[in-house]
Amino acid sequence: MSVAHEPAVTEPLALELGLSKDEWQVLLRLLDGRLPTYPELGVFSAMWSEHCSYKSSRIHLKNLPTEGPRVIQGPGENAGVVDIGDGWAVAFKMESHNHPSFIEPYQGAATGVGGILRDVFTMGARPLANLNSLRFGEIDAPRMKGLVKGVAAGIAGYGNCMGIPMLGGDCAFDASYNGNILVNAFTLGVLRSDKIFKGFASGIGNKMMYIGSKTGRDGIHGASMASAEFGEGSEEKRPTVQVGDPFTEKLLLEACLEIFQTDWVIGIQDMGAAGLTSSSFEMASRAGTGLEIRLDQVPMREEGMTPFELMLSESQERMLLVARPGCEEKIIAVLHKWGLDACVVGEVTDSGRFIGSWHGEPVINLPIQPLVDAAPKYDRPRQRPGYLDAVAAAPLPADLKPAEVERTLRQLLQAPTVASKRWIFEQYDGTVRSNTLLGMGRGDAGIIRVKDEAGQDTGKAVAMSSDCNSRFCYLDPFWGAAHAVAEACRNLACVGAEPIGLTDCLNYGNPEKPENMWTFEQGCLGIRQACLALDVPIVSGNVSLYNDTEGQSIFPTPMIAAVGLIEDCSGPVVLGAPDATALSKVGNRLCGASFRAAHDGIFLLGETRDELGGSEYLKLRTGKVQGACPELRLDEELRLQACVREGIRLGLIRSAHDTSEGGLVVAALESAFGANDGEGMGCQLMLTRGALRLDSLLFGETAGRIVVSVSAEAESSLATLCATHRVPFAKIGATGGARFTLAVDGQPLLDAEAAELKGLHAGALEAALG
Amino acid sequence: MRVAVPIFPGSNCDHDALHACGTVMGWETIPVWHQEARLPEGTELVFVPGGFSYGDYLRCGAIAALAPIMADVKRHADNGGLVLGVCNGFQILCEAQLLPGALLRNESLRFIHADVHLRVERADLPFTQAMKAGEVFRVPIAHAEGNFTLDPADLADLEARGGVAFRYCSAQGEIGEDHVPNGAMNGIAGIVNLQGNVLGMMPHPERAVDPKLGPTGGLGVFRSLAAAFSKV
């Protein structure tokens, strides 16, 4: 049977599909001068796209530290795997779905969640927690309110239906994302460390099986869409956005986990970006084998589909699997039990070639390893952007007058980046599966406990947090990226967890612009520096380039998700030591961000410097993101994190919250707003200014600071602990009452009803969304 | 104390039900695939769990209500056996006509996950007998379709016969629109059938029973059931 309506393969067609002139020449050499068939050209365009080949980023990704004593699987597989002891491991990864979410926010965000879930359960892990990191433009920018609502609903729609709790995330707003929002989704799963599944197509003669949903025409060219800039007319790309079906994915998850209990599976891989093309080429390439796939046997959703479409479709909820000989029927039976398609579509061969046939006719015949090896790898030109010096040298406005403090604080509390994100995260199920020890909005990181197959508590708990202050990255691409690593790990410390691995999602602009490429390189180097200093490896990740619209690049945004371990979390959990007697008996195993009791002392660990660069406050006053990026002192950071972890473990520290957007006063208030199970309480801050500017003291965003609360009896122990770790500390106030008061050097600056300020913070986002 | 937990394609709170009944309460708890024709011999309680059975396609619970196992759940209920439906389980029981009413989209049209307070309206049921009438307890909700709706005459009937088991309220037990998270009529969070052996509720008591995870507001329901079992 011939294939209808196939265009003639020419160089212009290749360019239209995203290949460069140079790449077209390499392609011809690889085929010894013969022209590729149309489906073959499709394979090249997908495999050599930025999205699949990492052709611009690979040489820089090599800089990332990926090894450590706990690392079982580093980058290169569907997800990274880290040992958590006693035969247990966690698999996790973060991925972007930026362009699809901008075009069609609900489906774009939903399928982003679906894709990362598949990456994790493909490894044999049961997904147990999600995070999401979102970057939106200014809330009044065109379409933005709808994008916020659509993305939140899409993430909720998929994750809730799958029954995976959302443990946290972060969300910020900046004009740099007006034309290119970021939607990064993270999933963590738990598995036995000796039951890890990988994408290997090995064993000559073994059957290749297709399982999951039927293939449709959706998402064709998704990978190449993610590899080009946005411009006018991007809405016309809506058909390239995949449509998610979380119900089918839930069935696929349960079916896969059921067959993983057996020894029937040799290798498995999700059909993600570039669908059947990338999954089959990657599986064969890893195993050094060849494949024969009968494309006409792929389950199809509609009639008249072509080999080109079948190879490039990004229809969701599909897997490619290599079966142990003789187990095919048993696998099919399990998939049918769950109401899913499953069939044999080909075999593993020793030819080293990918042969795709269509009703007996070979329509694709390509060498696998040479095609993968010949994938372009660019050392693109790099140039330090000129704006860096200008923004660093921008003069600061005059210091804030005491009379302006209250108005400024009220504005800051309502800034979308600082305001409570409850409106968003209330849409996510956060407690399904009965593992959530610290849920959304309760701590600086989310925590789940780990249960065994029989549902019994293993005594282990895993914490996770994702972060990136992209304003810092804009001001200093190197140190901004290092800050992201430090902050993600700091958040783990604030809940009592030790960082054991990171995943990154590197969102940058068009790599063909030398300034962006320089920025990207600096980001990788900054991540490297922080990882080495804090002794934590990157085990998986994703790169998203071409985040540009009409020539305008986003702020560099290397999102970092950190995973931490609380090794002994057996027995009862005492959140923030409610009373002195309880803490002496069991200690503290984990810690929330909210004050626990009235009349506790509030302490600031870490030092405040005159650092206003990139702060929300400066943006508020000047309308600009400028100044010097705050310093990051990694040796001090390491000591600070160790100090707080120990303070939590000893039961001294009742709450811990790091200062970030909005600075010190906002951080203390956030701890007060969450107190009393979210009812809130007051607090009295008494600060000493020293030589600092008033605005730096109150609203500067110096890194490496944590606001903690301790009982009166524990204050001297905290002092000893801080001295031992050489961490600067100062008492800055006390908890309790119904009012929030602020005094600097004994001079009262503010006296307001805490509940009223809490209301501003809680309601601002919903009000802004209208 | 034998509990059956029917599992439909798309159920996802089955694990929570098994954890609460099995691990926390120590009852013999058996997952039952939707295509089974019979509940396990000697089943005392059927716990229809939450989730997105059949992806919530067509209408929440509509397809699951037609699953083979539901015929035996109905028989169990008709014989006076206990049936508890939570969240999607409640929706399924309504669609199966074991309970009256329907759960519409939340008034906000958004999924809501939050802790809510419930007031016990009936303390004489197998599901509530360890609690006091008027007692307030705190449990989470996690749903997009929990807006309980009934036509006015049937609603009046339901209220008149004491069919409302739980109502949304403030932490102090006050009733009012401000405390209803989803627009449910009369602030109804859970209802019981005429015989008092089938209860459906949107909030998740099974997620608030393990002290390790936080407050255990849901224990009252399970202690009540434990008492009901010991009478059998």
The pLDDT tens digits of the residues spanning A283-303 come to 999 999 999 999 999 999 989
Start-to-end C-alpha separation, chain B: 9
Residues A60 and A520: beta-carbon distance below 8 Å: yes
Is B113's CB within 8 Å of A427's CB?
Answer: yes
Residue numbers in B near A677 (CB within 8 A): 115
CB atoms under 10 Å from CB of A411, counted, come to 16
Is the CA virtual torsion A569, A573, A576, A579 positive or negative?
negative
Is the CA virtual torsion A83, A84, A86, A90 positive or negative?
negative
Question: Which one from A51, A60, A221, A657 is the annotated catalytic residue?
Answer: A51
Look at residue B25 in the predicted model and tell me its pLDDT.
96
Nearest to A663 by CA among A612, A605, A729: A612
- Nearest CB partner across the interface for A161, out of B52, B210, B214: B52
Nearest CA in chain B to A431: B207
Judge whether residue A311 has pLDDT over 80. yes
CATH of the domain at B33: 3.40.50.880
- Specify the pTM: 0.95
Judge whether residue A223 has pLDDT over 70. no
Nearest CA in chain A to B55: A247
CA distance A491 to A495: 7
Does A428 touch chain B if contact means CB atoms closer than 8 Å?
A: yes
Nearest to A426 by CA among B89, B205, B141: B141
Mean pLDDT confidence for A198-223: 88
The three-point CA angle A392-A394-A397 to 5° equals 130
CA distance A180 to A182: 7
Q: Which residues contact A617 (CB under 8 A, 6 or more apart)?
A: A408, A412, A662, A663, A695, A699, A700, A701
Does A449 touch chain B if contact means CB atoms closer than 8 Å?
A: yes
Residue with tokens 């809330």: A139
Residue with tokens 């006050």: B174
Residue numbers in B near A157 (CB within 8 A): 111
> Containing domain of residue B28, as a range?
2-231
* Structure tokens that stand for A302 in this block: 């509609």
Is B56's CB within 8 Å of A161's CB?
Answer: yes
pLDDT tens-digit map of B126-138: 999 999 999 999 9
> How many domains does chain B divide into?
1
Residue A242 — pLDDT band, cuts 50, 70, 90? Answer: confident
Look at residue B229 in the predicted model and tell me its pLDDT.
85
Burial class (CB in 10 A: 0-12, 13-18, 19+), A530: buried
Nearest CA in chain B to A149: B110
Residue numbers in B near A434 (CB within 8 A): 15-16, 19-20, 206-207, 210, 213
Question: Which one from A60, A97, A221, A761 is the annotated catalytic residue?
Answer: A97
CA distance A137 to A98: 13
Is B142's CB within 8 Å of A156's CB?
Answer: no
Residue numbers in A near B36 (CB within 8 A): none
Q: Which residues contact A365 (CB under 8 A, 6 or more apart)?
A: A40, A353, A354, A355, A356
pLDDT tens-digit map of A369-397: 988 888 889 999 999 999 999 999 999 99
Look at residue A51 in the predicted model and tell me its pLDDT.
86
Is the CA virtual torsion B10, B12, B14, B17 positive or negative?
negative
Look at residue A586 in the predicted model and tell me its pLDDT.
45
Backbone angles phi and psi of A607, in degrees to 5: -110, 140
Judge whether residue A601 has pLDDT over 60. yes
Residue A233 — pLDDT band, cuts 50, 70, 90? Answer: low
Is A163's CB within 8 Å of B13's CB?
Answer: yes
Look at residue B154 in the predicted model and tell me its pLDDT.
97
Query: Considering chain A, what percentage of its residues have pLDDT values greater than 70?
Result: 95
Number of Cα atoms under 13 Å in the Cβ half of residue A306: 17
A66, B115, B191 from B86: Cα distances, Å: 45, 15, 11
Among the ranges given (A147-156, A272-281, A571-580, A664-673), the one the predictor scored with the smallest mean pLDDT: A571-580
Look at residue A243 in the predicted model and tell me its pLDDT.
83
Nearest to B35 by CA among B6, B14, B10: B6
Does A676 touch chain B if contact means CB atoms closer than 8 Å?
A: no
CA distance A281 to A284: 5
Look at residue A185 in the predicted model and tell me its pLDDT.
98
Look at residue A585 in the predicted model and tell me its pLDDT.
43
Chains A and B form CB pairs within 8 A to the count of 94
Mean pLDDT confidence for A342-365: 96
Look at residue A665 in the predicted model and tell me its pLDDT.
98
Helix (H) or strand (E) holding A260: helix A246-260
pLDDT tens-digit map of A402-419: 999 999 999 999 999 999
- Nearest CB partner across the interface for B23, out of A162, A247, A456: A456
CA distance A67 to A534: 13
Residues A506 and A541: beta-carbon distance below 8 Å: yes
* Structure tokens that stand for A244 in this block: 């998610």
Does A157 touch chain B if contact means CB atoms closer than 8 Å?
A: yes
Strand-pairing partners, residue A507, are: A544, A557
CA distance A297 to A292: 12
Look at residue A3 in the predicted model and tell me its pLDDT.
58
Residues A127 and A121: beta-carbon distance below 8 Å: yes
Is B9's CB within 8 Å of A339's CB?
Answer: yes
Which has more confidence, A571 or A100? A100
How high is the mean pLDDT of chain B? 96
Nearest to B6 by CA among B99, B80, B76, B103: B76
How high is the mean pLDDT of chain A? 93
Alpha carbon of A573: minimum distance to chain B alpha carbons (Å): 6
Judge whether residue A253 has pLDDT over 60. yes
Look at residue A460 in the predicted model and tell me its pLDDT.
94
A164, A221, A492 from B214: Cα distances, Å: 19, 47, 20
- Nearest CB partner across the interface for B142, out of A246, A429, A457: A429
Is B207's CB within 8 Å of A161's CB?
Answer: no
Based on the residue annotation, tell me whether A359 is a catalytic residue of this protein. no
Judge whether residue A235 has pLDDT over 80. no
CA distance A316 to A621: 46
Judge whether residue B54 has pLDDT over 80. yes
Overall size of chain B counted in residues = 232
pLDDT tens-digit map of A453-487: 999 999 999 999 999 999 999 999 999 999 999 99
Residue numbers in B near A437 (CB within 8 A): 212-213
Residues B150 and B102: beta-carbon distance below 8 Å: yes
Judge whether residue A209 has pLDDT over 80. yes
Alpha carbon of B162: minimum distance to chain A alpha carbons (Å): 31
Q: In chain B, which residues touch A (CB < 8 A)?
A: 9-10, 12-13, 15-16, 18-20, 22-23, 51-52, 54-57, 110-115, 140, 142, 144, 204, 206-207, 210-214
Residue with tokens 């095919």: A328
Catalytic amino acids of B?
87, 204, 206
- Nearest CB partner across the interface for B13, out of A432, A456, A575: A432
pLDDT tens-digit map of A32-71: 989 999 999 999 999 999 888 899 999 999 999 999 999 9
Overall size of chain A counted in residues = 770
Helix and strand numbers (H, E) in chain A are: 27, 28
pLDDT tens-digit map of A497-531: 999 999 999 999 999 999 999 999 999 999 999 99
Nearest CA in chain A to B144: A427
Helix (H, G, I), strand (E, B) or coil at A343: strand
Residue numbers in B near A156 (CB within 8 A): 110-111
pLDDT tens-digit map of B60-91: 999 999 999 999 999 999 999 999 999 999 99
Which has more confidence, A2 or B169? B169
